[in-house]
Amino acid sequence: MILFNLIFTRYLQANLPFSLKEAKYTLQVNKCLEKKTHKYITQTAYILPRLETVTENIEDFSNMSLIKKNFIQNIIDKIWQQTIFLSRPTNLSDKYIAQLESINLVAHKKQQKKLLYQFSKDLLRGRIEVHSSKNLFTNQSSSFLLTPSIKYIWRKGINLRPPLILSLFKQNINYIDNKKFLSNLQFNQFPVFTIVNKWEQLIISEPPGELIVNKSILGKLYRWYIVNLTNGYHFKPVYQAWFFINYEDAHEYYNYIKKTYLISESQNELRIFPCNLEVFYQMSRTSSNLVQFRLIPNLNEVGNLVNKYKKYKNISFDKKQIYGKDYFQGQPIYIIDYGRSNQSYHYIVYKDSKQITYTPIFTTYKSAVEFWEKYIHQNSPRELGKKLQLTVYNLENFLRDQSHKTAELQQSFLIIPSKSSYQTIKLQKNHKDGNLISMKKLINFSYIKLFMHRIICSLISKKP
């Protein structure tokens, strides 16, 4: 960590015996880095000028006189902004550090620990940004190896990135553009289940580190500003909201929350909330970048597919589907494979005096088989061709593919839930309309209002 204050741009420009702009580099891309491997090869970092003077310049660099920053530079670093370069330690850097310690430019251990603690805290808060990286590769004409040096900007105090007002509307515009796809999702009314509290707010998972690092009001305000006003896409999602395809899986998660967090009967106002798939899609596209919405597949169906269905001869997998001996990515869907036949199997729905043809998308193998048997019973077997053939894909990627297509290429589809989900919704029929309206209110619930509510709760609660 001490290398964060090792190399500064001002120092290089002012003290190197040659100009970086004038230096001639003979660089060649390392062939090892061109291959698609899962290993990252880290190498020693050096600055190479003309090859004939490599050794001489490196020795000069290690023997340079060190220049201490003046008072103004120290003030800027403490209250405004600090530039940091991160690289791999080398013998040269160890010698440089020894020189720093000898002239007392490195603070004593307590100050160093304080600096590293503040750095780690601001790193989690998102106050440290990757500004640029210089990818340097191996030069075959030299025995020295090069590694990337990564530049960081550590903003401090009131030094904030300027706001981008358009970032407030960018996601909403992208969402509204695809009207046909959204209309199709809304028509489907495919049920998914989630957990909400008494305010009908989603229960989301929050890492323990967030409770410690962002417990102050200023920390929360800064995070809200970066994410919502500066197009802060460099933040990785830290919260997770789960939507379940299967009611039984949602109920198991509900019981897990009650047992794990020992929620008393007076506080137990959580409930399983049914909504449609269009709600999940809308929230995942228009909510904060810090929240990741996950669609939890029907675990029982995934198990049956991996252990049993995939061995059937009438089952084939889409070429883009990720699966293996004991795993499958996403919620399985089953699409009838027409093969070379000109026949099509679909639902016909009359809407606004128009006949609309919907391609059935099955979420369980059994529902696909039941549909096929019923179809055979109502039609001549000769018209149906061969026996049922199904192509397996996942719901998440299917929706993504459809949303990326133009309106002319999008197909009208009808996602068919499992029989158990249908029965669950049927039992809750008396409350269904009210729930959907409440969920729409939840979607339109202002993020800043929810944010302020959480701040107030944190102030009056003894727990973080």
**Is 50 exceeded by the pLDDT of residue 294?**
yes
| Winning range, highest mean pLDDT, from 105-114, 147-156, 362-371 | 362-371
CB 39 within 8 A of CB 79: no
Bridge partners for 151 per DSSP:
85, 132
Bridge partners for 413 per DSSP:
359
Indicate the DSSP class of residue 65: P
CB 326 within 8 A of CB 306: yes
What is the mean predicted confidence (pLDDT) over 148-157?
78
Confidence category of residue 225, pLDDT binned at 50, 70, 90: confident
The rounded radius of gyration (Å) of the Cα atoms in the chain is 30
C-alpha span between 378 and 372 (Å, rounded): 10
List, as own/partner pairs, every contact residues 55-63 make where C-beta atoms lie below 8 angstroms and the sequence separation is at least 24, other chains included.
Answer: 57/17, 57/18, 58/92, 58/144, 60/17, 61/16, 61/92, 62/92, 62/95, 62/96
C-alpha span between 346 and 359 (Å, rounded): 5
State whether residue 161 is helix, strand or coil: coil
Higher pLDDT, 385 or 276: 276
Confidence category of residue 431, pLDDT binned at 50, 70, 90: low
Please give the pLDDT value at position 179. Answer: 73
Does an H or E element contain 195, and which? strand 191-196
Confidence category of residue 10, pLDDT binned at 50, 70, 90: very low
pLDDT digits (tens, 9 = 90+) for 39-57: 333 333 333 333 333 444 4
**Is 90 exceeded by the pLDDT of residue 390?**
yes
Please give the pLDDT value at position 245. Answer: 95
Cβ burial, residue 186 (10 Å; 0-12/13-18/19+): middle
Bridge partners for 295 per DSSP:
243
C-alpha span between 250 and 272 (Å, rounded): 7
pLDDT digits (tens, 9 = 90+) for 189-206: 899 999 988 877 888 877
CB 296 within 8 A of CB 242: yes
Residues of the chain with pLDDT > 70, as a percent, come to: 55
- The Cα diameter of the chain in Å comes to 94
Higher pLDDT, 334 or 52: 334
Please give the pLDDT value at position 342. Answer: 58
Amino acid at 103: I
What is the mean predicted confidence (pLDDT) over 274-292?
82
Please give the pLDDT value at position 378. Answer: 73
**Is 80 exceeded by the pLDDT of residue 318?**
yes
Provide the token pair at 174. Answer: 């992208």
Buried b (16+ CB within 10 A) or exposed e, 232-254: beeeeebbebbbbbbbebbeebb
Predicted TM-score (pTM) of this structure: 0.63
C-alpha span between 368 and 363 (Å, rounded): 8
Indicate the DSSP class of residue 261: T
Q: Which of 442, 415, 418, 414 is nearest to 273 (CA)?
A: 442
C-alpha span between 16 and 14 (Å, rounded): 6
CB 181 within 8 A of CB 410: yes
Confidence category of residue 172, pLDDT binned at 50, 70, 90: low
Provide the token pair at 334. Answer: 């089953």
State whether residue 175 is helix, strand or coil: helix
**Is 70 exceeded by the pLDDT of residue 168?**
no
Poorest-pLDDT segment among 159-173, 264-278, 396-410:
159-173
Q: Which of 296, 165, 290, 162 is nearest to 236 (CA)?
A: 290
pLDDT digits (tens, 9 = 90+) for 237-261: 678 889 999 999 999 999 988 888 7
What is the mean predicted confidence (pLDDT) over 407-432?
79
Q: State the alpha helices, DSSP H only, in 53-178.
A: 54-62, 71-79, 91-102, 109-125, 167-177
State whether residue 192 is helix, strand or coil: strand
